[in-house]
Amino acid sequence: MHVVNLTARTRTGRGRGYRNRLKNQGYVPAVVYGKEIGSLPIAVQIRAVEAVLGRGGRNTLVALEIDPGNGKTAKWDTIIKEVQYHPFKNELLHVDFHQISLNEELITNVAVRLVGEAPGVKAGGLVEHLLREIEVSCLPRNIPEAIEVDVSGLDIGDSIHVADLTPPGGVKFTTDGDVVVVTITAPERETEEAEPETVETVPGAEAE
């Protein structure tokens, strides 16, 4: 797993006005929490966080260097636990960092990525991607960027369950094995019943 260095500074303010001032400076409010660090309010550069999310997603290992303003910086191993966006704008509002130990297993969700082309699709079937993330348990450095699921052997009616997948080395799946990841369904056929033709008769008219 790739490690990204990120610099943060401690903060003391809160509220919309303070957040707007941070935004004008190119920062977003955040918090880092964990067994060793407790809970510490910080501010991080918006562009830096967006770069991390765009490159490796939330499971990227972030070496977070925090400057408390007294010249004594400290560095913590973290992952991004939660990201909050504005409900109507594509605007970053808040970030939660989870301080972790590289020597302790953690549980997190990893994206499922479908690869290959299913014969059932060529026959007219439809891909139903039912499970978008799989919960895994592993050491932080073993967190995979994604779990690839090969659908190239699926015909119409076939499915792949979590139990059918082989986890990467050093990784255990904690999602129930019976959960369906992907299935190929038959195309929906519209059955249109022909309506019987009706002949209008005019009272008093003679049949020809």
Residue 4 DSSP SS3: strand
* Percent of the chain residues past pLDDT 90, beyond the cut: 63
Residues 162-190 pLDDT 10s = 999 999 999 999 999 999 999 999 987 64
For tokens 């560095």, what's the residue? 75
pTM: 0.76
Confidence of residue 191 (pLDDT cuts 50, 70, 90): very low
Whether 106 contacts 137, CB under 8 Å: yes
Phi, psi of 17 (to 5 degrees): -60, -45
Q: Read off the pLDDT of residues 103-153 as tens digits, 9 standing for 90 and up.
A: 999 999 999 999 999 999 999 999 999 999 999 999 999 999 899 999 999
Q: Where are the beta strands (DSSP E) in 73-167?
A: 74-85, 92-99, 106-115, 126-129, 133-138, 147-150, 159-161
Q: Which domains does the chain have, with CATH numbers?
A: 3-99 (2.40.240.10), 106-185 (2.170.120.20)
